[in-house]
Structure 1
């Protein structure tokens, strides 16, 4: 069985001409002279490097189509018929609304969260910028954590830079302010930095001028093993970003390139970030400096690199006594990561969580400091959350999500636009013709915010409603497992459906589960 789906994808707006496709190359079984070039190979003959990326840029999010040998569906959640953890084992008390899904992260100081979700780095991509109000306000009212991702200052057309350092960024100010406008004491907003952000002094600016108390050092992400990239549709933007130190392709300072752009030979430039170079001493010094500047919480986000780099992230997070380590598995993304890279590089989610737990066990056995941990990589529904906590137990304190929350915000914003224009789709209008009728949580939010309800972005209402569904679903699953708080979830709460899944994860194979207890019961 082929795990990959090469050469044609809705992500790259390509397709095969024939129904029968060669499973390993992805080429049509019969490639004929005269075809217009519908597949990735054919389209690459006339659009070249453009076909590396999901399209259309700025209007979509993308994630891998690769069918990994082991994923979260290869585990089932195990229920119980007796007992309870976290409440009295009484049928009147052990009900699912009593399940506590709150969590906290941090070292000495703690960030309390109503829901165990971190909305991972939403950076300079156009789709994150457009939907930021819904994302940030939604994170604030749900009591979750949201991270402002890389390159926001560098991409800000109105940023002020002196001597190579940011002194003002209206866009970063806006992003922080939206969260704070709706903040009610739970969660936080963090600012992330990559290589270019570090050179521009973004975290220093965020701490000293904006009063941000949580910052994140970025090593990478699960979607790609290079730096972030976006498309630029104007020559002015391309020249501006090249001047600010970014890698811009093709070179916008080249007169021949400028002429080709004006003639419409190509319509977008690519802006790329540099890859980081991890050095232990420099990393520890950086963390120390950030804390001295006033950062109360320092996070690290790492991607789906090889095991030695995951071990390095775990070790340095312990040595630096970080407040959060987020580990992102391969396969997902919210921006425009190269499509084949998104499918074919890195350690997938189940595998990387399994390695992460082994490495954290090593720290635990030595009595070393263990940071709060979040795992990410394709999580979207409540069973995913439960399995993520169980696979990484007892270390995982939160689940990182990006595409799914952004989807909820995009849908919420569309409903808001369509309702205002009186052009609701039949799917939405069957619930009513007002925001209050369509969003099932509106009465709850209206009672909470009263006159301010109408100021809530509909994208935020969408995110709140989505998270509300996730939390009820998670409570139901936890109740069935008799676990009434997140810290009680352990690795015995799930079972592997295949021997291979058991071997990879260390989770018992379902046919071997509870063998000793079964024998004791049957040998009465």
Structure 2
């Protein structure tokens, strides 16, 4: 079975001429001299490195489509018909009080100082990519009125054309960062927060100092890698002057805009754009602890960590170190990647798939807990877009996972709402939208709900993308209520996919409480718990502080 075939994908605007394709290489089985394209090898013949990235930059988000043998779709949520849990004041469940609209979807994260959210979702890091910049108001206001957290990603200050630095190359004015923070705060309802992510360049520019001094930001996020990839963040710029400016600010820019050969190629029209790359942050336990202490000394109430789809050693280090450092939230992002701009083949072929990584995180959390160590609050990320996926992630990760981080899925409603606004102005609504009406009040089912939050006067200032995000969040909320109303502990029994080898073993495992009922004629199975050790793995030594195996 071929999990993913290279050499032709919508992400890079390429496709195979032939219907007969070699599975491993993705090449046409019969490559014809004189073919007019348009496979990836064909296009790379004259556009070269441009084919590394999805495109066009600034107009798309791209997500890896590798079809792994096991993913969250292979898990089904198990309901029950006996009793009810979670009712207030010890009430006994009845058809009248165990109603799904009564289910609370509120959640909270944080070591000591908690942040509550209305729905257990929050955005991925929306940083310096053009798609994030130009849609920010829709994203930020939507998250604010929905009562969920938004993560402002890396490099926002560093790429701002109006950035002002002092003589020590530290930020003193960053208008785009100011705009982003103020957009969220203006409509903040008391639930969720805006937190700022920081990478190597942000640290060197003094972003942490700037945002806490000017905006009193309470939470800052450190990061290992770039989401589900092992590299730093990238964007593209389309003028040589802008490329030179970013290079002077300390960024890695390729191809080198200072190179006379590259300048000549740009003037010829062969090169249309330049890539800006971020540096990798190298980690060590001492360095990590020192940076956490430095940020706390600046006055931050909460510090979070975002880590990508590294192997089990790095996962163990992240969980162990976050426990020791009292990190407020650890977000674990699995493969494949989703991006505004990252190498396409890396998104497909690098890192641990989400369910494998998340399952290991739960096992590692149990090890830490068994040792008497507190497990930091966790969030899972990597390919979630619907309420069933959110529910499964929360159930698989219970009680450690507090929320699900969504990248592209939370961006799309913002972009769709923005486009609906533009289509209405042009009197050009597509039929998929116009069948519901021709005004915002008719089209958006949650328009009046947002109006109730912001007020009758202010609703006219709310971007329609924000109402789109609120509507989408409401779908997640109600969907999770429906699932939670029919299960006891989420997805029961909560077991790692590593445990199950065959369908038969899964069936036998689930049959155990049935046998208990049949033999004992008892309702005791309602609270029956199962346990299984992970077994001896090198990573356990890492969790216990023994690094002798390295």
Find the residue that maps to 1:477 and give its secondary structure.
helix
Q: Aligned residue for 2:526? A: none
Structure having greater relative contact order (Cα 8 Å, sep ≥ 6):
1
Q: Aligned residue for 2:462? A: 456
Find the residue that maps to 2:62 and give its secondary structure.
coil
Find the residue that maps to 1:153 and give its secondary structure.
coil
Find the residue that maps to 1:492 and give its secondary structure.
coil
- CA contact 1:391–1:505 (8 Å) conserved in 2: no
Offset at residue 508 of structure 1 (A) = 10
Aligned length, in residue pairs? 514
CA distance in 2, matches of 1:473, 1:512: 30
CA distance in 1, matches of 2:323, 2:221: 15
Write out aligned runs for 1:75-90 (5 A). Answer: 75-87=75-87, 88-90=92-94
CA distance in 2, matches of 1:365, 1:223: 29
Offset at residue 489 of structure 1 (A) = 3.1
CA distance in 1, matches of 2:26, 2:491: 41
Q: Aligned residue for 2:508? A: 512
Deviation by residue 1:293-340 (Cα, 9 ceiling, x = unmatched): 111110000000111111111111011101110110011223111010
Offset at residue 514 of structure 1 (A) = 3.6
CA distance in 1, matches of 2:277, 2:451: 43
Does 1:158 pair with 2:162? yes
Find the residue that maps to 2:190 and give its secondary structure.
coil
Offset at residue 351 of structure 1 (A) = 0.5
CA distance in 1, matches of 2:100, 2:191: 23
Does 1:218 pair with 2:223? yes
Offset at residue 171 of structure 1 (A) = 0.5
Mean Cα deviation higher: 31-40 or 464-473: 31-40
CA distance in 1, matches of 2:7, 2:228: 19
What TM-score do the two structures reach when normalised by structure 1?
A: 0.95
CA distance in 1, matches of 2:150, 2:10: 29
Find the residue that maps to 2:327 and give its secondary structure.
coil
Find the residue that maps to 2:125 and give its secondary structure.
strand
- CA contact 2:135–2:414 (8 Å) conserved in 1: yes
Offset at residue 204 of structure 1 (A) = 1.5
Q: Aligned residue for 2:102? A: 98
**Runs (5+) with no aligned partner, structure 1:** none
- CA contact 1:431–1:437 (8 Å) conserved in 2: yes
Write out aligned runs for 1:351-500 (5 A). Answer: 351-448=356-453, 449-481=455-487, 483=488, 488-489=489-490, 491-492=492-493
Write out aligned runs for 1:326-337 (5 A). Answer: 326-337=331-342
Does 1:45 pair with 2:50? no
RMSD over equivalenced CA pairs, Å: 1.7
Does 1:263 pair with 2:280? no
Does 1:184 pair with 2:180? no
**Runs (5+) with no aligned partner, structure 2:** 522-550
- CA contact 1:351–1:505 (8 Å) conserved in 2: no
CA distance in 2, matches of 1:460, 1:94: 32
Does 1:193 pair with 2:198? yes
CA distance in 1, matches of 2:63, 2:253: 24
- CA contact 1:260–1:266 (8 Å) conserved in 2: yes
Find the residue that maps to 1:77 and give its secondary structure.
coil
What TM-score do the two structures reach when normalised by structure 2?
A: 0.91
CA distance in 2, matches of 1:257, 1:203: 35
Find the residue that maps to 1:209 and give its secondary structure.
helix
Deviation by residue 1:365-401 (Cα, 9 ceiling, x = unmatched): 1111221110100100000001101111210001000
